[in-house]
Structure 1
Amino acid sequence: MSTPMPAIVLISEEHPTEMVAGFARYTHEYDVRVTGSLREALTTTHDIVAEGGTVALFVTESVLPDADVHMAFHKLREKVPTARRLVAAHWDRFITDAPALRPGMAKGKFDAYLLMPRGVRDEEFHNAITDLLSDWGSTVPDPEIVSIKIISPTRDGLTLAIRDFLDRMGMPSGVYAPDSEAGRFVLDLYDGEVGFPLVYAPSRGTIVATSVRDVAITMYGAPTEIDLDHVVDVAVVGGGPAGLAAAVYASSEGLNTVLLEAEAIGGQAGTSSMIRNYLGFPRGISGMRLAQRARNQALRFGTRFFTGQVVDELRVGLEGEPHVLCTESGEVRARSVVITSGVAYRKLRVDPIEELVGMGVYYGAAMTAAREMEDQDVFVVGGGNSAGQAAVHLARFARSVTILVRRPDLAETMSAYLIGEIEYNSRITVRTCCQVVDGGGDGRLEWLGLEDVRTGQVDRVPAYGLFLLLGAEPQCDWLPHDVARDERGFVLTGRDVPRDQWSDGLPPENLATTVPGVFAAGDIRSGSMKRVASASGEGASVVPLVHAWLAPAPEEQTV
């Protein structure tokens, strides 16, 4: 029996003809159904789910006959939490209804407020619709299009980590048992010694993966493919927002640019399910999509990317020699280096919890693991925006999501728009003045010990998932001592560099380190804002400094 097409449910009492006409182009691939009220929409949704289907998008006019729009979306989200929600106002009401509805959009009650199409080929409207459907498709448990097949008899930590890496790289994947149709297909193609997980990518072959790095090298190659006699102008270490911005601007201005990333392009930002406060994206954008757009932009200008490459050492070039970045796969020589390696989430350091990492316990948002949380009770530790975004995403799948913070509230550390969205979501609760002190389970997480930091009382609660987003620790153990760092290990630049390391009484340039030709931008830099927009800005701002460093000296120009 074939799976039903995903549905688009329209709610329109006054203008159903115009509403249906606006979605005519989607009827070939979606089950488009029109209803006249919330009651009818709930009945229709119940029937769709009962038949084994799901709803991708709910669309309503700005006025309903039997409910307030905000209440309607609340009821519909209870039925299908993963569906996107849209108000398509008739042109007679678009201006008058906007003031009352837009505050609800800011709180996450729905995803977009649009003008109903006024005719055929209203591409601005359809651009918004396809964005919402694309976002829905990337977060459902089983993607429609599968690029990579992972064959594994169990969903162990490595299998989950590989799928999470592929998700963050924008490569839809599926996990299949060895005796399934897809499993037998891949096993028939593979002529080596069989092991699991087995990763199959069309045109790239099949490998037995022992690490995420194996998959990254298979997809994107290793630095040894660079001609070692060739010195690049700029080597960017780290593929988060700062590194991507530096790569885009450097390569667009003609600099020979290479970017090395230890994990997936996008860094921590790439794990964000939805960034709503990034300039230029009024409906928000997922971290993965933002990162992949930036990567494609840099590729267009000539940047070469190498993922899964851990830089073990930076050898500083002396007397005009290039700097050397050493990896397990080879060396990259560069006239300048931009450090954008970002930060890692701080460890919880509770031994029973650490033993279950990958088996119900995850550092970061772990987008793939969220799909495994359907109808379960999960916990998020952290009070920053990343924790809030993770909680909102998890609430699409989990029965309940509890945010745990040591502080008495979220206001000091989380953006107001996220706090509003969390308060509105009935599946999310916030437990303040609380920390995780214990946990356990038979082979995977089953329970947590939660301590009230005011009273010391410890409660034992059932838990299927724990997502740890605990703050920042710098990732720069590979840097030489010549690069000055603060007491926490973040790289010092500009006037933050101690005076005894200034040159001729002058500090380094704003984003320059204590090593000439080595720069730092983004979260790795001491004093940075730890926001996507500020990291992108620093990545762009470092390029003029790189240009100035690479420019020939006046006497060389004369010669």
Structure 2
Amino acid sequence: MPEHQRPAILLVSAEHATFLLDEFGRYQRDYELVMALSAEEAEYEAQAVVDSGAQVALIVTDSRLPDAEVGEAFRRWRTVVPSARRMVVPPWERFLDDAPRLRPGLGRGEYDAVLLMPRGVRDEEFHTAVVELLSDWGSTVAGPEVETVSIVSPAPDALTLGIRDFLDRMGMPNRVHTPDSDVGREILARWEGEIDSSAAQGPAPLPRFPLVNAIQRGLFAPESVREVATMFYGTPGTFTEQGGTEGTADVAIVGAGPAGLAAAVYAASEGLSTVVIEAEAIGGQAGTSSMIRNYLGFPRGISGMRLAQRARNQAIRFGTRFFTGWDVQRLSTGPTFTVHTEGGDVQARAVVVSTGVAYRKLGVPNVEALTGLGVFYGSAMTAAREMEGRDVVVVGGGNSSGQAAIHLARFARSVTILVRRPDVSESMSRYLINEIEANATIAIQESSEVADGGGDGRLEWIDVRDVATGEVTRRDAHGLFLLLGAEPHCDWLPDDVARDEHGFVLTGRDVPKDRWRDALPPASLETTVPGVFAAGDVRSGSMKRVAAASGEGASVVPLVHAHLEQTGR
């Protein structure tokens, strides 16, 4: 979008046009307000915005239009502006009559919110919903107006996309610039000046891409995502307690998904010195979800990134230290525990294992070779923007696959969900299936799997095998998103920590009786090693849901307290 063009808010009403235009006047500085009196006129105005090179951020419509039912109107508008957020605002005098008719469309995802049209000034509850929708659009669709991190790269290679995905999941506004752009040339000139001054003894090396310029962090050329994470969060070996005292943490939490974040918030808020070590971005797999609609207390849904960002800020407020980009290599037991990483060790009196699960590998060599080049494990929020106008495939039948497909449909020409099962309803929530069925861009292909894939330097095609007949067909695919079930991520744990036949950590009464101590089972979330606890998806028998993981993370803190009191540490 050209810098001088503001994104648009499209207001649609035959009866309340003047009122809505006045009500949304507070957004006029940052958004272009566009008015339409009918569904047909709104479609025309949306197309005009797109043709001008701008974007439609939000569509707000009356609950009754003169020429179309609201659900039908949104289906028409979606073909023009699939990424716009959508709101229906019935007026007071029709709200009770129209609300029952509108709720089914809300459940199918035809629109994001149904709210009573404001009746007076300063209806901040209404405008909170507006701002949330605009914020969601801005974080997933629009390029940032103010960049925290600028990246210079000639092409969207695997490392550049990996860095962007990390920054997006961490909530850091960023943008990629080509070397011949104004920003790119300015950063290159700075880089060459720094290299020239440091390479006075010989010729200056050629620039290495991507280059990353971060506010208050300087300019550098990372060779891995970990280098970027370290630039912002440091290394675990530098851990000090709040106030600057070196020593042993009360609790070390390994994994910053919902369980780890909840444990961090409750532990730190109760005065325990708390450190969290995360191998990737804070939020875990849940942090990659474009929209979680069934999480308690968020009627309009919340993105995994926003949920993780809020929880992280809560934990930091109470003194938690975070280190991202560091895999834990092993755990040593003793009078205290030692969490070993390549970035140094952390000493702790108790350990909470909340590493969650990792997606299983596809195991097709030609496809694996294109990882990061059109092939992605997980929903890869950043890569979704690169799929505009392309045909993409999502593999997996769980809720994460459904959420990824719905998000990708805002950009891609077509999205196909491949599922090995004969019926996706066995593994996906009904609300997601309803939303997928209502979206003409998404198709579900059951009893199918990826047999092969390839392309000239990037993914261009895949072979799909019918698991019932064995028949293989080839199809175009410029994006393949693999969400293939779950495997526990806890190989670093010592053998003393018991696991089930699938590798998930056993806790409480699930521990075999021959591993109980003094004929008593461990505490409910405690492992076979006293002082080592497990919470969330990594635990055997867990619910594998965001809310359940958060609950376990909160519940583990009293057990940590009891252990510390019992051992006198």
- With structure 2 as the length reference, what TM-score do the two structures score? 0.95
Deviation, 1:401, is: 0.2
- 1:61 paired with 2:62, answer yes
Residue 197, structure 1, aligned to residue 210, structure 2: yes
Residue 100 of structure 1 corresponds to 101
How do 1:519-530 residues align onto structure 2 when only pairs under 5 Å count? 519-530=533-544
Q: What residue is the counterpart of 2:382 in the other structure?
A: 368
User: 1: distance between equivalents of 2:468 and 2:424?
Assistant: 17
Whether the 8 Å contact between 2:525 and 2:534 is mirrored in structure 1 is yes
SS in 2 for 1:334: strand
Q: Does residue 270 of structure 1 match 2:287?
A: yes
Partner residue in 2 for 1:430: 444
Shift of 1:188: 2.9
Map 1:354-503 → 2, pairs under 5 A? 354-503=368-517
Count how many residue pairs are aligned between Structure 1 and Structure 2: 552
Q: Residue by residue, what CA displacement relative to the aligned partner does 1:237-279 show, whole Å, maximum 9, x if unpaired?
A: 0000000000000001111000010100000000000000000
State the alpha-carbon separation in 1 of the partners of residues 145 and 393 from structure 2.
29
Taking the aligned partners of 2:62 and 2:111, their CA distance within structure 1 comes to 12
Which residue of structure 2 aligns with residue 313 of structure 1? 330
Runs of 4+ deviating beyond 6 Å: none
1:57-456 map, 5 Å: 57-140=58-141, 142-190=143-191, 191-192=194-195, 194-227=207-240, 229-317=246-334, 321-456=335-470
* Residue 540 of structure 1 pairs with residue 547 of structure 2: no
Amino acid at match of 1:391: A
Q: Secondary structure of 1:92's match? A: helix
Q: For the residues of structure 2 that align with 1:249 and 1:146, how far apart are their CA atoms? A: 32
Q: Distance in 1 between matches of 2:174 and 2:153?
A: 13
Deviates more, 1:468-477 or 1:42-51: 42-51
Deviation at residue 179 of structure 1 after TM alignment: 2.4
Alignment check: 8 A CA contact 1:22 1:116 kept? no
SS at match of 1:143: coil
- Asked if 2 retains the 8 angstrom alpha-carbon contact of 1:493 and 1:512, the reply is yes
Q: CA offset at residue 552 of structure 1?
A: 4.6
Secondary structure in 2 aligned to 1:65?
coil
Structure 1 residue matching 2:499: 3-state secondary structure? coil
Match of 2:537, SS? helix
How far 1:547 moved relative to its partner? 0.6
Offset of residue 403 of structure 1: 0.3
Q: In 2, Cα distance between the equivalents of 1:46 and 1:430?
A: 29
Deviations, residues 261-305 of structure 1 (Å, cap 9, x unaligned): 010000000000000000000000000000000000001111111
2:277 match: secondary structure: strand
Deviation of 1:2 (Å)? 4.8
CA–CA distance in structure 2, aligned partners of residues 28 and 180 of structure 1: 27
- Give the counterpart letter for 2:323 in structure 1: F
Q: Deviations over 1:183-238 (max 9, x none)?
A: 12222333136321111101011121111000000011112222495011010000
How far apart are the structure 2 equivalents of 1:405 and 1:7?
Answer: 38
Instruction: Tell me the secondary structure at the aligned position of residue 450 of structure 2.
Output: strand
Give 1:182 deviation, angstroms: 1.1
Counterpart CA distance in 2 for 1:372 and 1:2 is: 20
1:359·1:445 contact (CA, 8 Å) conserved in 2?
Answer: yes
Q: CA RMSD in A?
A: 1.3
- Distance in 2 between the 1:73 and 1:143 partners? 26
Paired with 2:129 and 2:411, the residues of 1 have a C-alpha distance of: 24
1:551 correspondence with 2:565: yes
Match of 2:115, SS state, is strand
The answer on whether the counterparts of 1:270 and 1:286 sit within 8 Å (CA) in structure 2 is yes
Gaps of 5+ in 2: 196-204
**Structure 2 residue corresponding to 1:514, chosen from 516, 519, 528:** 528
Superposition deviation, residue 141 in structure 1: 5.3
Identity of aligned residues (%): 64
The answer to whether the 8 Å contact 1:91/1:116 transfers is yes
Is the contact between residue 239 and residue 321 of structure 2 (CA under 8 Å) also seen in structure 1?
A: no
Give the Cα separation in 2 of the matches to 1:7 and 1:20: 13
What SS does the aligned partner of 1:32 have? strand
Asked if the contact 1:269/1:532 (under 8 Å) is kept, the reply is: yes
Structure 2 counterpart of 1:302, which letter?
G
* 1:94 aligned counterpart, secondary structure: helix
